[in-house]
Structure 1
Amino acid sequence: MPHDDPKKPRHRRRRPPARVDVADYTTGSLVSWTLEGPGLNCYINKHSSSDSMGCTLDFTEDVRDTSNGEAAGAVDWGSDNRFEPKMQTGGGDSSASVKSLRPAQRISAAGATCVASGDRAMACERDGKQFTYDGGDFSATDRTLDERNLVEGGRDAGSFCGEANNRLYADMWNTRVIVTEGTVDCREAVDTLDGYLSTWQDGSRSDPLLTTLSNGWTCSMPTAATSRAENIKVSCGKGSMTVKIPASTPGIISN
């Protein structure tokens, strides 16, 4: 019979987060909790006529409200069914009587689940969308490729390729990817814009925020004057191929 080697480290199976009794966190139709870090409060409205949900968070990076460009201090479940940075939440209970969700605890209500992973760390999921918060850093998933009307295959100038994910830029309402030169593989183009828009372009590279991505595409955001004159919010190019997200939605050639 084989014997365990006492010198060999044993790997313990990580325990899943412990589910809390949601009734302990519920007042009326509101499920509310705090994290153990100060000023971090969340709520879920369980009422059948409302699907609201939000958290007041302390961001350490320059996260902006997606509706008005102001500095965000919260994340809300938006009207288009995704998590969006906001100036403040639409409701909830921030009173001192609200219980804490401690690290390795999980709470679920109204189709949403949140797991605390630290005093100032948490991840929430709803309808396949997720946001994570860790010590002030924030990220959120967005729509799937199917939901973004991705066009398969190559398309020529003037054609619509799909919609890029924008989780950071409040002044970018339109994320339609339009081919402007050459024949472009739409999935590659949309993936490229996803990558460029996933990181704050802080101006440290140059005035037009020029960035070369690992796939060989180069993307930039033009100056305000160029954006207005040429109807370009973001442009990307590789060789003879170029695409753009227009500053305003033009007529497009659909698939």
Structure 2
Amino acid sequence: MHKSSRRIAAVLTVGVAAAVLAGCSSVGGNKGSTVTVEQRAATTPVDPGPYQRSGSLYVFSVGGGQTVCGIGLDQNSGQMGNLTCHVPPGTGIGDAGAIDVDGDGVHAAGWNRWTGAPDLPVGKSLTVGTATCEVYAPGSVKCANHGGWVDVTPTKTTTSAGGGETTQVPSTATQNGAPMEHYTDGTTPVAPGTMCGAATGRTLVQVVSGSISCTDAIDLIDGYLAAPADPMGGNAKMMVYRGWRCSAPTAVAAREMGFGAKCEKDGTVVITPAG
């Protein structure tokens, strides 16, 4: 090959390479490009004020309400930073409609879903107490709290307990069979979602997660509500009762948070419905 021919070939090769690189790096790119680079938009903090429902609860939605997250009072520390996200249906967590990220780690939950929450826009982040949530794409949000996180998109929910391993959230809804709406009191552990006490006229108690019998759940809540308040527990009657962390928010907060009283220990959570 003559020197002139080699120079022409070299120029053509450089030109093609430059065109390919330009197509890969441009947003939207050339129609002929086959390379897609996924980038998450940088987020900027917003004022939490517009998302505050009460002194102890901040709520926002993502994707027009497909995902709704709330940051409330952390019973472990008495400070703000208890995080719950209600995820889109069919995102791989079975019958559990919500994810808690708190001092006990990352686990499936069954709280009532908040409604009417304002949207947190794409590219914005919200921090309340120990929890931070970032909306990095349309309908997609990642929330971190206490070293754990939950990442929710319109089609998938993944979490990490702090070790960096991404996993699908396990559902606890069928550990002990299907939930029973009107379960007669008994000593056999019941499925999460079961409403205890309805058949016998006793205190209504819902088993949200974990393993406990209706008899034990009702006795626990009844005992806690009858116990003298701890002066350090504030108006939410926060205390450790028989090894359980329990609280009973005020009437306004109870309606917003979806429960009247709550006790939790080692991943087992029981509540009374908000009155």
TM range (shorter): 0.3 to 0.5
Greater helix content? 2
Q: Given the two structures, how large is their TM-score scaled by the length of structure 2?
A: 0.42
